[in-house]
Amino acid sequence: MTTTQLRSIFELKSYQFGRIYPEAVIPGLGHRAPDTERRAGTADRAESPDSSRTLTGLGTLRGAVRMRLSSRCEYGVRAMVELAVSHGGGPISIREVAEREGIPEKYLEQLFSKLRRAGLVKGCRGTGGGYMLTREPHTISVGDVMRAVDGPISVCGCTGEGVADGANGGCAKKASCAAHPVWDKLQKGIVSILDSTTLSDLAGGGAACAHRD
């Protein structure tokens, strides 16, 4: 699962959402035709694992602004897709996942530690050991993975997960903010996309076939 493939799936889903809610633009998750040309040299630039990229971080596209996922989310999802593809065939070592996805091994260890604490993966020791999913790929959503490695999904402080109805999320202007309804739709749209997309969806044929069998 490459970054480009992962991005394409989210772009298609959010583009469809954007057709339904045109006033709630989802920058960076693709509220535009999937083949929109990116600014040369910026879209696929290699970034270090420690780069600060969150759902509220802004990058640029030609003629648009985009929201960017954290490297923890991106790498975590890609690593979990590798486990989904191999689900049922035994554990996969961190080294193998790191080599396949081009993710630093040390960084991947930190992510799998968080995924294990969240109950999404389990470790197997000894020769041929590694990690494997604790559930079927079609029961684990992208949202599950993102929350495990990066905490609650939040587009804006006033609409993020964990902000109770009526609470201002630290924003004193929430009640009178004209933009809040848009942020709220944006939050719900992104969460809907992430929670309705499973590892099986991203893994394609491999995990889907295992589910059917």
181-212 pLDDT, tens digit per residue, is 898 899 999 999 999 999 999 998 544 444 43
Query: How many separate helices (H) and strands (E) can be counted in the chain?
Result: 8, 4
CA angle (88 as vertex; 83, 89 as ends), nearest 5: 80
Interatomic CA distance for residues 97 and 81, integer angstroms? 10
Cβ neighbours for 90, distance < 8 A, ≥ 6 positions apart: 124, 128, 130, 132
Share of the chain above pLDDT 70, in %: 61
Domain spans, the chain: 1-39+47-213
Global confidence as pTM: 0.70
Residue 116 φ/ψ, nearest 5 degrees: -70, -45
Residue 13 DSSP symbol: H
pLDDT of residue 211: 43
Q: Where are the beta strands (DSSP E) in 16-175?
A: 57-61, 64-68, 121-124, 130-133
Residue 46 φ/ψ, nearest 5 degrees: -65, 140
Q: Which residue has the tokens 């929201």?
A: 67
1-39 pLDDT, tens digit per residue, is 666 666 665 555 555 555 544 444 444 443 444 444 344
Q: What are 131's two structure tokens?
A: 């990690």
Q: What are 58's two structure tokens?
A: 């802004």
Q: What are 66's two structure tokens?
A: 């985009």
CATH 2.40.50.140 fits 1-39+47-213, yes or no: no
Mean per-residue pLDDT, 126-153: 93
